[in-house]
Amino acid sequence: MADASLILALPKGRLLDEALPILARAGITPDAAIASDDSRQLRFKTNHAHIDVIRVRSFDVATFVAFGAAQMGICGLDDLMEFDYPDIYAPLDLGVGKCRLAIAARTDQAAPFDLARLSHIRIATKYPNVTGRWFAERGVQAECIKLNGAMELAPVLNLSPYIVDLVSTGATLKANGLKEVATIAEISARLIVNRTALKVRAAELNGWIDRCRTALAG
Amino acid sequence: MSDSSAKTLLPEGLRDVLPPDAAFEGQMIDQLSRSFAQNGYDLVRTPLVEFEDTLLSGVGAAMGGRIFRMLDPVSHRTLGVRTDITTQIARLAGTRLAAAPRPLRLTYAGPVLRVRGSQLEPERQFTQAGIELIGAEGAAADAEVIAVTSEALAVLGGSGIVVDLALPTLVNAIVGRVDNGLRAALDHKDVAQIRSRGGAHGDLLAAVTAASGPIDAAVSRMASLALPDGARRAWATVVALRDALRESAPGLQLTVDTVESRGFEYHSGITFSLFAAGSQREIGRGGRYLLPSGEPATGATLIIEPLLVALPKAERSRRIYVAAATERAQVRQLQAAGWITIAGLAVSSDQRADARRLGCDHVYEQGKIVPLEKKL
């Protein structure tokens, strides 16, 4: 089984830059072109003949791994929570891409954020599933408006009084006249594995998980 | 939407199966039933639809969210469509076959329906084929069910079969009650979250989770952990099953998942999932459960749809075009020799073109079998 091909899905963007050194210490070095934004390539060779890396949008890493199109991947906990695919295991916290998923409102908003008094709330977010679940657990029905970016505009332009978005320093919120009112989850990147692949190729994939764990400790 | 597309559209998760796939499916189910019957499992057939309260009583109690319901115009009672045949077999074993000698070995095959598919497995109708072994406790019974099922898969040409054992009761034996957050962390094997949500047991649960994998490594990792007594006794059943399988089916690939519990709603002991190298999905599952009377039982259910993807397709018999007005005795002779005969119904001006059009690679002309040359 050692020679069967292994596909590793990596997210585009900042998380990629933080993940590559960890992979290198674990012994997987993709072609240098992967770090270049100019490259139109989607699939890259690595220093192992049977391991290839694909570079996709962070949301799509979870999908490729869930369906077994890629056996392993690196993905933010935010995306994992949003899709909640049953067939993904996330055995390793890579400790990079740290931020939090938070609820924010306008700084000048008069009404306090009081969950006990709310029956319904309107929220603009890229994470409708996580948001809906979080509020439902607290007895509030969330009406989510799906946006793919520039969430901060929603409260300012009265699209919705609240947003749920990733916050790292809070500088973007502040610059747009918003404040954080609650935290939904602390986020960091996970090494993820497809369930079936982990069963059928147990020794091989557990070996890579162990090497990544050692790379983090060292 | 045009009229014709409205007529071809099926409800989500339902589909037609066309030739040759339907034939492969039929052959697969026949072969599985034969393998099970050879091991002493007797075929039973249960209805597609039952009274809702019967379907959801006993072992079926956890299935309420998954069944289609309808009103019976005759009895004015609510009916439910079965979503799992195992629960029906459990009902049979506890009622009509309560007096049958134990251990009771039963096999079944048929379609089931569920309200919702998942994104990964969108089918709402699929076909189950399986066995149940009722009235037997212990590793020998679990080992028999696993060995018989994996042998049946091997007969079908399955390769790279992996049996992933699990013990859904183990986590409860360590922590008692499991809240939703911890359950989600365990389901995704997110060790970081397990540690933070597991409270006083966080580190132990993280170590138990990390022990999952090939069985021998898992057994030695688990042996080094300080498990509470109840958990240690429960784990000993997994070790006993490994030992039993090592003797009866030494070639079988075994892994273990120490914290899996999803989809094992009515199970009370060791459970397992089956995987094959060629499938991106689980191909079957099973495990130990209790009948309402307290009688122990175990079983395995294969799911035909992913099996069709995972297993090599059986060779199709060769098809031969038989000219119109050929004597039936000759046709039967061809069939006895393994041919599938496609009869010409009218005398054709270009018999060979007709034969090709109907997927034949031979024609039967004037008492002779003539191969058709391959068209380029």
Looking from the CA of A100 toward its CB, the CA atoms found within 13 Å total 13
Beta-carbon separation of A86 and B279 below 8 A: no
- Listed in order, strand segments (DSSP E) in B167-266 are 213-214, 253-257
pLDDT at A3: 58
Give the model confidence (pLDDT) of A18-36 as tens digits: 999 999 999 999 999 888 8
Beta-carbon separation of A199 and B262 below 8 A: no
Please report which confidence band the pLDDT of residue B79 belongs to, taking 50, 70 and 90 as the band edges. very high
Same domain, yes or no: B23 and B141:
yes
Q: Has residue B66 been placed in a domain?
A: yes
Asked whether residue A177 carries a pLDDT value surpassing 80, the answer given is: yes
DSSP letter for each residue of chain A:
-TTS-EEEEEESSHHHHHHHHHHHHHT--B-GGGG-TT----EEEBSSTTEEEEEE-HHHHHHHHHTTSSSEEEEEHHHHHHH--TTEEEEEE---S-EEEEEEEETT--S---GGG-SEEEEEES-HHHHHHHHHHTT-EEEEEE-SS-TTHHHHTTS-SEEEEEESSSHHHHHTTEEEEEEEEEE-EEEEEEHHHHHHTHHHHHHHHHHHHHHHH-
Chain B residue numbers touching A74 (CB-CB < 8 A): none
Give the model confidence (pLDDT) of B309-329 as tens digits: 888 887 778 999 999 888 999
- Exposure class string for B40-55: b at 16+ Cβ within 10 A, else e: ebeebeeeebbebebb
Asked whether residue B375 carries a pLDDT value surpassing 70, the answer given is: no
**Nearest by CB: B189 against A67, A90, A203:** A90
CATH topology of domain A99-186: D-Maltodextrin-Binding Protein; domain 2 (3.40.190)
Asked whether residue A159 carries a pLDDT value surpassing 70, the answer given is: yes
pLDDT at B246: 95
Q: Using CA atoms in the order A65, A193, B14, B304, what is the torsion angle rounded to 10 degrees?
A: 130
d(Cα B190, Cα B184) in Å, to the nearest integer?
A: 9
Residue bearing the bigger pLDDT, A45 or B315: A45
**Nearest by CB: B190 against A190, A194, A202:** A190
Same domain, yes or no: B137 and B35:
yes
**Chain B from 202 to 261: CB within 8 A of any A CB:** 209-210, 213-214, 255, 257
pLDDT at B159: 87
Q: Which residues of A touch B (CB under 8 A)?
A: 1, 66-68, 77, 80, 85-93, 137, 188, 190, 194, 196, 199-200, 202-203, 206
Query: Measured between CA atoms, how close is B127 to chain A, in angstroms?
Result: 20
Q: How many inter-chain contacts (A to B, CB under 8 Å) are there?
A: 63
Same domain, yes or no: B220 and B306:
no
Beta-carbon separation of A66 and B192 below 8 A: no
Specify the domain boundaries for CATH 3.40.190.10 within chain A.
6-97+188-217, 99-186
Q: Has residue B132 been placed in a domain?
A: yes
Chain B residue numbers touching A85 (CB-CB < 8 A): 119-120
Give the model confidence (pLDDT) of B95-154 as tens digits: 999 999 999 999 999 999 999 988 788 899 999 999 999 999 999 999 999 999 999 999
Q: Has residue B265 been placed in a domain?
A: no
Beta-carbon separation of B120 and A80 below 8 A: no
Same domain, yes or no: B332 and B294:
no
Same domain, yes or no: B194 and B130:
no
Average pLDDT, chain A: 92
Give the tokens for residue B255: 């892994």
Please report which confidence band the pLDDT of residue B5 belongs to, taking 50, 70 and 90 as the band edges. confident
Asked whether residue A69 carries a pLDDT value surpassing 60, the answer given is: yes
Average pLDDT, chain B: 92
CB B13 within 8 A of CB B122: yes
Q: Has residue B266 been placed in a domain?
A: no
- What is the total residue count of chain B? 376
Mean pLDDT along residues A115-133: 93
d(Cα B13, Cα B115) in Å, to the nearest integer?
A: 9
Query: Measured between CA atoms, how close is B161 to chain A, in angstroms?
Result: 8
Same domain, yes or no: B83 and B214:
no
Q: Which domain holds residue B332?
A: 319-371
DSSP letter for each residue of B251-271:
T-EEEEESS--TT-TTEEEEE
Asked whether residue B3 carries a pLDDT value surpassing 70, the answer given is: no
DSSP letter for each residue of B86-100:
HHHHHHHHHTTTTTS
pTM for the model stands at 0.90
d(Cα B238, Cα B168) in Å, to the nearest integer?
A: 11
Same domain, yes or no: B61 and B121:
yes
**Nearest by CB: A206 against B190, B213, B257:** B213
pLDDT at B188: 93
> Phi, psi (5° rounding) for residue B96?
-60, -30
pLDDT at B312: 84
**C-alpha angle with apex A56: A55 to A60, nearest 5 degrees?**
145
Same domain, yes or no: B149 and B279:
yes
> Phi, psi (5° rounding) for residue B328?
-60, -35
Query: Measured between CA atoms, how close is B31 to chain A, in angstroms?
Result: 24
In this structure, whether the domain defined by A6-97+188-217 belongs to CATH 3.40.190.10 is answered with: yes
Same domain, yes or no: B148 and B54:
yes
Residue bearing the bigger pLDDT, B62 or B78: B78
